[in-house]
Chains A and B, each alone.
Chain A
């Protein structure tokens, strides 16, 4: 069974630009969550999608958005990039069902904003 795949692995963008990150979950998993990891803030929850609907949202500004497609693949978009958006962005895949506690993470996308 293939794991969680995130593309691209590395990305360099300029302040003010926008970026789209992609995540393909484990086959059969319907829940995809996104996290931001920075040295200062640790791992912070961005949002979760289940069956193409945003089910949960963290405390991030509206510049951070996402969507999920019918095949459960998800994209995350960050508009008007700021230097502080430089981080490792992680996607997690899970069944999304009650009692299904394990979330499996992808390798992450390292975003650098210059």
Chain B
């Protein structure tokens, strides 16, 4: 049972444009949602998180939007840069439980 889903395995975006990565979840008990960036053969790097009581969190070029009624979140990267090319994972967790439930990832390619 895939509780966190990233339905787009890959995405290509022109440099300077906006990249939008999407994530859906089924478990309404999740309290936090996180985005990680991952390069091959390395561990995921934390990017940004959002609490379930908020609908938006912004950090520099990264903004995460949460739509609880739709059980959907998205990560916006503006402007997109070549160094953003990586696999992006959406993850969710419940308060008091360190277990992260990951989506399957979206490979983002920024085209110069």
- Minimal Cβ-Cβ distance residue in B for A94: B98
CB–CB B95/A107 < 8 A: no
How near does chain A come to B94, taking the closest CB pair, in angstroms?
Answer: 10
- Minimal Cβ-Cβ distance residue in A for B4: A42
A42→B42 CA distance, assembly (Å): 14
Interface size on A, residues (CB 8 A): 31
Q: For residue B44, which residues in chain A have a CB less than 8 angstroms away from its CB?
A: 43, 90, 105
How near does chain B come to A41, taking the closest CB pair, in angstroms?
Answer: 9
How near does chain A come to B88, taking the closest CB pair, in angstroms?
Answer: 12
CB-CB contacts of B91-112 with A at 8 A, as 1s and 0s? Answer: 1010111111111110000000
CB–CB A43/B98 < 8 A: no
| Of B51, B93, B98, the contact of A55 (CB 8 Å cutoff) | B98
Tell me if A76 counts as interface (CB < 8 A to partner B): no
Interface centre among A35, A88, A103, A110, by most chain B C-beta atoms within 10 angstroms, is A103
A31→B95 CA distance, assembly (Å): 14
- Minimal Cβ-Cβ distance residue in B for A56: B99
How near does chain B come to A48, taking the closest CB pair, in angstroms?
Answer: 5
How near does chain A come to B31, taking the closest CB pair, in angstroms?
Answer: 8
Residues 54 to 98 of chain A near chain B (Cβ within 8 Å):
55-56, 58, 88, 90-92, 94, 96, 98
| Of B51, B100, B104, the contact of A103 (CB 8 Å cutoff) | B100
A102→B47 CA distance, assembly (Å): 9
CB–CB B43/A101 < 8 A: no
Residues 43 to 80 of chain B near chain A (Cβ within 8 Å):
43-46, 49, 51
> With A4-B43, A106-B43, A110-B41 in contact, is A56–B102 under 8 Å at CB?
no
- Which residues of B pack against A, CB within 8 Å? 32, 34, 36, 41-46, 49, 51, 89, 91, 93, 95-105
Across the A-B interface, the 8 shortest Cβ-Cβ residue pairs: A105-B43, A43-B102, A101-B32, A48-B98, A42-B104, A45-B99, A105-B44, A102-B46
